[in-house]
Amino acid sequence: MYHLIIKEIKEFWSNIFGVFSLAILILISFLFLWIFPDSAYTTYGLAETDLYFQFMAYLLLFVVPVFAVGFLSNEYKYGTEELLRALSVNWKKLIGAKFIAAMIILIFIIFLTSVNIYVVNDLALNTQVFSFQKTVVSVFGLIGIGACYIGISLMITSFITQTTASYITSVFVCFMLYSGLNLISGLPIFEGGFDFWIDRFSLSYHSEQISRGILRLSTIIYILGLTFWSLSLAAHRLNSKEV
Amino acid sequence: MLALEAAHITKSFGPVDVLVDVDLTLRKGEIVGLLGRNGAGKSTLLKILAGINAPDQGTVNYNKNTIGYMSERNPLYPYMYVREYLQWVGNMKSVPDISLRIKWIIKHVGLEAVQNKKINQLSKGYRQRLGLAATLLPDPEIIILDEPINGLDPIQIEEYRALIRSMAHNKIILLSSHLMQEIEALCDRVLLLKDGVISEDTMLRTNRTGSVYQLELQLDKSIRIDLLANIDGIEKVEPTNNHRYIISIKEGVDPRSQIFDAIVDNKFRILEMTHIKSSLSQLFN
């Protein structure tokens, strides 16, 4: 398992596209949080980290599939599925290793962008505004949302071998889970009926809770359940596939 | 005794039956060649024997950890370095004394010149060598190679043959090739896969130490068998028809000049003397 994880992380760093996507993510987060007037801290003048966490949950939706899809689609591209089978690699172990490697990169991304939290806290006129407990909950929640994206991306890629198609589908499914369900719940047909439940199944609902520092049991079950289900389906799909 | 046994292997892809009730037993010390036309199901059979894919029906008795498999595509991770890749394969297979083993394999497979290069910088021949090195690194008891000489130049092919032969005494080696001369040069036994079944299972040599090759001789009239059979190195002389004889000769011996002398001294004329290489071609057709 350890050697598989290391291989994935090395692969990420050896790929200029992966590193480039990291640089773009940092640039975009800087532009949206500090420069563009519609979303910048400087416009609203509130030293709260909610904006950072909500924005990051949305931004990760596009960035996480870049490397999570790549981890699996590169195996197809290089034809190394055969090699992995010849090395007696269990598919559950393989998916687990790819998930852990993706989580390490995700945590690294969050670490890089967490400078925003520090800066916002530093800029606050009243230092009492900053809540360490709330920030910790929000960071864990953000990691959880990222885990859902990774799980979904791996699951989609286990079905769709073409990298671009897999990336687009992963982003679409992640978007539907994040915002799509929330938007669907607003349709008049669901008003006063299923709208409450549909909204509860959207990641944006949980993301909003987390960004406020609220971590409910339902959110934990939702994140763990969705991630575990996606990874299980991916492992099952790969196990049943001919190479 | 080490053996790989497959029984009633059946595999279909959609409506196409690729393998139909294939039975197979491979024993230690054998180099077995698998021949067949493109699309005959050679790779499918090798993948099933290597445990890469499962058959629709049938069983393969083996310990998967004892198998080394190199596929026709020879997949590698292009971003890794040669040594790094071998190290990774060794770690994945928990190879003991891995540094020493990597050193040994790099030397014997001829990768010294490129051992610190990135895989995506290697030529086809070196990539093929690296694939072979990775397959042999864990010292598997059963080696399955799918079209292993693809991309090798003639010198590399000779080196590769020598390496395979040097390992053959205590292993089972199964290789596929579309080159009949390759199978003839290297294998003790040939399996011909045709229409999803093994249509021929022929010994090319008795064994690795007492190998036999054959000459076909045509004379102007019939000769007494003992005149030829008494020559050193000749195992057997079989008359066929029209003053033709099949002479079986121990490998490593070349008694053609003695045969020539025996025939001329006894006032016979040689109309034709050929090394029989066409047996596989005949099987194949």
Give B132-181 pLDDT, tens digit per residue: 899 989 888 889 998 888 777 788 788 888 888 888 778 888 998 877 77
pTM for the whole structure = 0.76
**Strand pairing category for B31-35 and B172-176:** parallel
Q: Which residue of A has its CA nearest to B84?
A: A7
pLDDT band at B208 (very low <50, low <70, confident <90, very high): very low
pLDDT band at A129 (very low <50, low <70, confident <90, very high): low
Mean pLDDT in residue range B26-46: 85
CB-nearest to A7 from B70, B75, B88 is B88
Query: Which of helix, strand or coil describes residue B16?
Result: strand
Residue B37 contacts by C-beta under 8 Å, 6 or more apart in sequence?
B178, B194, B284
* A79–B75 CB contact, under 8 Å: yes
Query: What residue spans of chain A are helical by DSSP H?
Result: 2-14, 16-30, 41-44, 50-78, 81-86, 91-113, 115-123, 132-159, 163-175, 181-185, 195-200, 203-211, 217-239
Beta-bridge mates of residue B173: B31, B143
Number of C-alpha atoms within 13 angstroms, CB side, residue B258?
Answer: 13
- Report whether pLDDT(A190) > 80: no
A66 vs B1, more confident: A66
**Strands ordered across the beta sheet of B244-250:** B234-239, B244-250, B212-219, B270-275
Query: Tokens in use for A183?
Result: 């938007």
The dihedrals phi and psi of B210, each to the nearest 5 degrees, come to -115, 50
CB-nearest to B73 from A82, A85, A89 is A82
Residues in chain A whose Cβ is within 8 Å of chain B:
3-4, 7, 10-11, 14-15, 78-83, 85-89, 242-243
Contacts of residue B47 in chain A, CB cutoff 8 Å? 82, 243
- pLDDT for res A130: 63
Contacts of residue B50 in chain A, CB cutoff 8 Å? 86
CA separation, residue A50 to residues A41, A108, A134, A147, A165 (Å):
11, 20, 10, 20, 33
State the DSSP code for A32.
Answer: I
Could you report the per-residue pLDDT of B233-273, keeping only the tens digit for each? Answer: 888 888 887 788 888 887 677 888 888 888 988 889 888 88
A144 vs A37, more confident: A144
Give the CA dihedral B110, B115, B118, B119, nearest 10 degrees: 30
* A83–B65 CB contact, under 8 Å: no
ipTM over 0.90: no
Could you report the per-residue pLDDT of B221-231, keeping only the tens digit for each? Answer: 888 888 888 88
Closest by alpha carbon to A208, among A132, A122, A142, A127? A142
